[in-house]
Structure formats: C-alpha cells, structure tokens
Amino acid sequence: MKNRIKGHLTEIIVLVVAALLVAADQITKGLITDNFYLGQSVTVIPNALNFTYIHNPGAVFGILKNHPWVFNTVTIIAVIGALIVLASGRVGKKPYIWAIGLVISGGVGNMIDRLSLKYVVDFIEITFIYFPYVFNVADCCVVIGCGIVILQVIIEMIQEFKAKKAKKAADITHLTEENVDE
C-alpha cells in the first residue's frame, strides 16, 4: 500500500492542489457576489486590473449561452477522463500531470457555478491591453493548464529535433572516420 501511494505521490499532491484551487475559485467568487452588485467595477491596479462582477451564462464571449448542458456534459466527461488518466499512472512527465490537475480544477470550479447558479461568476478584468473578456480563477487554471501542455509539447519537439540533429552529426562523423581508416 505504501509503495502504491509513493508511486502516485505527485498525482495525489496535484489532486490536493486542484481541490485547493477549486476552493480558491469558489471563495473569490463568493467574495465578489457578497460585496459587489452585478455590473460593478472596481479598479484594483490602475490601467492594469479591475474587478468587474458579471454573470456569464455561456462560454468565452457568452457563446452557447442557452446550452449549459453542453458545458456540464463536456466538463463531466473531461474531468472523469482526466482522473482516469491520472489514476492510471501513465502520465510520466510532471508538467502534464500538473496541467491535468489545473484543467480539472478549472472545469470543476466553473461547473459548480453552472449547476448551482445556471451561470458562471466572472470578475477579473485585464485593462492594460485590450482584452474584451472578464474571467475568474477557474478560467485561469484551465488556460494555464493548456499553456503548460503547449509549452511542454514545444519543448519536446525542440529536444527531439536536437537529438535527431546530434544523431545525424554523429553518424556523419562515424562515416567520415570509417572512410579515413580505410
């Protein structure tokens, strides 16, 4: 039993962190709904960050706002799939494990809103660039998790390219040495 837990320690830690992130998401949304009126915007960092309380009945930019079952179905399938993948122990690289945990936490955080409120509470508004979307902690988790996957894939592609290039150079050197020996 101890070896089994030790073998999955990273996954266990990731799931604990994911649960804490879901709690942080729900706490921050609760603070906003308890202290702001709908549509209220407060500057947190001038020309950089506002807290603007809105309801989002859909996805990004309010798309599919009349189809919450789509988000709940996709989220449930994605979270169950991610948990199965984590439990399998087949995800060898820690960045992927952390990315899965982040996506799980974001999906669960927003699903809680959709199931209990029929909309998602959003409040983080970036103002230092034009970004026409207000989001929340759960959204940040999903975006960061997906970003980690993209970054890891790019890193692996670069490593693979360098390894192939080094092998090719080694093969050329080996062939050249064989020709010199003859």
Q: Which are the catalytic amino acids?
A: 122, 139
Q: Following DSSP, what letter does each residue of 15-83 receive, concatenated?
A: HHHHHHHHHHHHHHHHHHHHH--TT-EEEEETTTEEEEEEEESSSGGGTTTT-HHHHHHHHHHHHHHHH
End-to-end CA distance of the chain: 60
The answer for residues whose C-beta is within 8 angstroms of residue 135's C-beta and 6 or more apart is 122, 124
3-state secondary structure of 92: coil
Q: Following DSSP, what letter does each residue of 134-151 receive, concatenated?
A: EE-HHHHHHHHHHHHHHH
